[in-house]
Structure 1
Amino acid sequence: MEQRLSFVTLAVADLEKTYAFYVDGLGWTPELHVPDEVLMIRAGDALVLSFWAESGFEGEVGPIRRGSGLAPITLAHNVRTEAEVDEILALAASIGADPVGVGEKRDWGGYTGYFADPDGFRWEIAYNPDPRLESIVLPD
């Protein structure tokens, strides 16, 4: 198996609310949108972030674990400056993300903050000053 990831698929309760958040709010461009079924957004050269209505997800993949607490996953969006972290967190707050944390210096040397999308999936907005990671996480 090649060392790569093609899709990240998240099951969502209300696909149209998810569409409004990511497309109308964050300004992302959908590659495919089937109302009340699926929304696919290109997230890299060969990577798609896919949002699937819960009923379709459960029908194919299986029952969703439900309960209190956070989904045990974070999605990360790395940027080139600390100021960009703060700008994106402010944008997320302006479109109704809840909760939205403030940017913070981290023990490992970076600067990050988090926001939640309509289904509670946490996005980390991160500035990482380690030059070894720049070519991996930032587009040219």
Structure 2
Amino acid sequence: MEQRVSLITLVVDDLAASRRFYADGLGWVPEVDVAGEVLMIRLGERLLLSLWDRAHAEAEIGPVTGGGTPPVTLAHNVREPAEVDAVLTLARAAGARAEAASWREWGGYSGYFADPDGFRWEVAVNPSPLGESLLP
């Protein structure tokens, strides 16, 4: 098996709300948009974010647990602290719950926002060589 990820799928309760948040609010461009079923957004050359309606997901994969903070975070790395603040401001304007960014003990600057289903996104400047390797 090759070492790669092709899709990140998040099961969502209200696909229309997720579309408003990601497409209308954050300005991300859907590549696949099937009303009431799935919204797919290209994140990289060979990577899609798939937002899958809960009923359709459960019909295929079985019951999905819910409640509380989902045990996963996604990250969006940027080059400068001002970019972190700008992304958090955009996320708030799109309806996200977002915390103020701060300097972290690991040497970076980051903050988090939650999408309509509570999935947490970290927005970060990571000054390490690994962090630099994640930027376009």
- What residue identity is the alignment partner of 2:121? W
Measure, in 2, the Cα distance between the counterparts of 1:123 and 1:132: 18
Alignment of 1:41-56 (within 5 A): 41-56=41-56
- What residue identity is the alignment partner of 2:107? G
Residue equivalent to 1:74: 73
What is the TM-score of this pair, normalised by structure 2? 0.97
Residue equivalent to 2:123: 125
Measure, in 1, the Cα distance between the counterparts of 2:116 and 2:100: 18
Q: Percent identity?
A: 58
Unaligned runs of 5+ in 2: none
Measure, in 1, the Cα distance between the counterparts of 2:131 and 2:91: 25
Number of residue-to-residue matches in the alignment: 136
Query: By how many angstroms is 1:131 displaced?
Result: 2.6
Query: By how many angstroms is 1:114 displaced?
Result: 0.2
Measure, in 2, the Cα distance between the counterparts of 1:24 and 1:129: 31
Residue equivalent to 2:89: 90
Alignment of 1:29-48 (within 5 A): 29-48=29-48
Measure, in 2, the Cα distance between the counterparts of 1:102 and 1:118: 18
Q: Runs of 4 or more off by more than 2 Å in structure 1?
A: none
Residue equivalent to 2:105: 107
Unaligned runs of 5+ in 1: none
Measure, in 2, the Cα distance between the counterparts of 1:79 and 1:133: 9
